[in-house]
Structure 1
């Protein structure tokens, strides 16, 4: 009887894992999918450090060259939620290969751009193709690996997603300084070709006769999605530059985003074959995990937006020096991914995510102790810890959010989950950039109110500066003017440091406030029922 039960259990396990890839092939698929994700994530930030060079080469204004970043971001977030439908319609492998080919060719077009219009259009094409890479890569991994191996599979994927934002500026700065800005696009060519070849060789063939192709295309849903998400992303990208709702353009974008989103939700919940299946949000873990994903995106992309600004704007680091400062943290993320990947499916994901949120808060509060004397040694350990504890949130959150979904809901769920992380990053950058400007003005006003002609310390400092300048050869009038300029620079420096400290504290508080969301997440442990379809 015992032998019969053992044999039945063995057959049941074989049946449950039959849909998953076995042997070394699954790891070849994991590397292939992750290469596509890395290409997309790195190109989100690699351009930022080269905008000044692009502006000078193509004769663009500051606002015009900003669309090199904005165009990519808008196209990217529009395509991410459509990736599930496009994968079903054309076939997962066909769509993934098409996205890789399109992304690589668009990168080459960016490198050969002769004017700003050509570059922006090529970046939009790059973003449209890149949107199909991130969500589909994660979907491919969930459909390739059984639940008990999802931790390691998602670790391979997560290395690129977490390290990419740090690698992008480093690589972009080095290529721009040594070879020129066009090479930040040409570098995608060999990686893209390798990814295409690997996808053709290793990804499973598409199943013929898909019923999805016989369903009507939800053109209205697609159009409303483009209006809603595109307007929201444009608003987030341009809001700070346009002084938010003081600008008619931002007001119009906000109206389009709200109206478009409401009509999109109504449309997608009524139509039989929606372009984006919002019904997957019936899964509580996906709904809560997607909200948490937005918070993680804000912390991941928002702080990586603020740190280079601080090191380059306040500490006067070069792009290469900033990249080298961020690199150990990226390495810590990679190591932690491998370690956590082996145990994440066995430990309650909520515990790991909670530890990660508390750890990130501690890092942010530590960074808030910056001073004018802060240097590389002071930032090294906090940034390494940041890289390590981020993994405690990212990896278990992916598994807790998507691991328990029925297999047919994973593509739509992955698209929505990745969309919220990307939008969370955009929202985080918009909030932090606005806070930075507002808090700097606030601190400057406070400091200036204390610097008066009746303040003995101010008078003493000016006298000291004037004496030093006169000893260096300046006349009395010139020494007085230069002393005032020097004092003003000191005020600007101190107000900038205080404002960066404020936004680091703000991010730390946000992570602490996110902890109650853990109550709505699943445990994320591997279960046999997760394999039943």
Structure 2
């Protein structure tokens, strides 16, 4: 068991700002699932079309990540974060004004072009300012945005949607994000240490050098594979709960809220465990645990609400338990001069893989009419099992790379990060 390294006051401030940013970006994406049944009914959207609505965000985010990867290490990371955050806010407002399937797809593309890059910029900031022995806890706190979005954002968004229409949650996200970007402008200090280490004269060369490194490609492949499994179930969560498990639209906020509370408790604990114990072993245990509940849940028929909630919380433990150690390990792969490019490419592949997964999930899942049960959702569960097993091997390879790098690395870079 390792001793934990405490955070400085500046580091705590950065964690709070990035957590708020992550909360809004995750909420914007996560709210699509609980609004799924409402959108499908109001716009007469079929499951395969709704899969494309979700995929539109993911594909545009992936393309944006690749386009910005070459430039990601050439600017102050604070300015880069502000630029993409403002674009994300504009895209989210467009979602609230969309009134047809086509305009919603267009709005999600705009949101993805900007929002999909924010996560990679945040990871680059975290990697610059925190040593790897601190990053598990940082990721635990940052990923609390996932739980907070379910505890606060999604239930409030659903209540607003039930009262004023499905557009209201998007305006809620935009309002919170406006407050977040204002705080970043006023409080966050410039992050420019990486600028002194740039060697590539052109953005294309910088992008190519990041792709050409074998160790980086292992990290990219691992992230893509993890994302395929993660995105396949999620878009149809609310439609499955309502049409198959007989959860009412009024009960849906409670389902998401309780699951989110579970995530809020789980994330910091997993973060601490990730900093104290072997990250690969934690990931493996969590993945195998998760698969048990994925199979149970995707094969579920109508049950009392408390059983549905309990299974959601138990499944969330596994999902969160593998997310933190896997992400933390991935941040240990790139060198400082490549972190922005690596995180952008990594985020890009994550989004593209997620978009592919959502589209495939839409092709597997069938619904005969607006009020019929979803069919073949259990097949999605078995596909996730098949994807997760090779994921464990890939994370093992990433873990080996990070350990080998740590054994060779001089403490120069780490001391710079601690002083900031």
Normalised-by-shorter TM-score class = 0.7 to 0.9
Q: Give distance in 2, aligned partners of 1:391 and 1:113.
A: 32
> What's the counterpart of residue 412 of structure 1?
341
- Indicate how the Cα distance of structure 1 residues 389 and 119 shifts in structure 2: closer, same or farther if over 3 A, else same: closer
SS in 1 for 2:276: coil
> What's the counterpart of residue 304 of structure 1?
234
The 5-angstrom pairing of residues 50-129 of structure 1 reads 50=35, 62=45, 69=54, 71-112=56-97, 121-129=106-114
> What's the counterpart of residue 207 of structure 2?
274
Aligned pairs, number: 400
The 5-angstrom pairing of residues 392-411 of structure 1 reads 392-411=321-340
Return the offset for 1:76. 1.7
Q: In the TM superposition, what whole-angstrom CA distance separates every residue of 1:100-141 from its partner, at most 9, and x where no partner exists?
A: 222223433444568887765554332222122111111111
Q: Give distance in 2, aligned partners of 1:167 and 1:103.
A: 20
Q: Give distance in 1, aligned partners of 2:23 and 2:209.
A: 24
Return the offset for 1:352. 0.7
Return the offset for 1:374. 2.4
Q: Give distance in 1, aligned partners of 2:284 and 2:358.
A: 23
> What's the counterpart of residue 375 of structure 1?
304
Where structure 1 has 5 or more consecutive residues not aligned to the other structure, the ranges are: 1-16, 219-271, 442-491
Does the aligned pair in 2 maintain the 1:92–1:206 contact within 8 Å? yes
> What's the counterpart of residue 202 of structure 1?
187
**TM-score, with structure 2 as normaliser:** 0.80
> What's the counterpart of residue 43 of structure 1?
28
> What's the counterpart of residue 418 of structure 2?
none
> What's the counterpart of residue 176 of structure 1?
161
Return the offset for 1:413. 2.2
- Indicate how the Cα distance of structure 1 residues 183 and 298 shifts in structure 2: closer, same or farther if over 3 A, else same: same
User: Is 1:517 aligned to 2:394, yes or no?
Assistant: yes
- Indicate how the Cα distance of structure 1 residues 424 and 75 shifts in structure 2: closer, same or farther if over 3 A, else same: closer
Q: Give distance in 2, aligned partners of 1:425 and 1:173.
A: 24
Return the offset for 1:97. 0.9
Q: Give distance in 2, aligned partners of 1:516 and 1:209.
A: 32
The 5-angstrom pairing of residues 182-261 of structure 1 reads 182-207=167-192, 215-216=201-202, 218=204
Q: In the TM superposition, what whole-angstrom CA distance separates every residue of 1:180-209 from its partner, at most 9, and x where no partner exists?
A: 233222212332222112212333325499
Q: Give distance in 1, aligned partners of 2:194 and 2:15.
A: 26
Where structure 2 has 5 or more consecutive residues not aligned to the other structure, the ranges are: 414-420
User: Is 1:384 aligned to 2:304, yes or no?
Assistant: no
The 5-angstrom pairing of residues 455-470 of structure 1 reads none
- Indicate how the Cα distance of structure 1 residues 321 and 293 shifts in structure 2: closer, same or farther if over 3 A, else same: farther
Does the aligned pair in 1 maintain the 2:147–2:261 contact within 8 Å? no
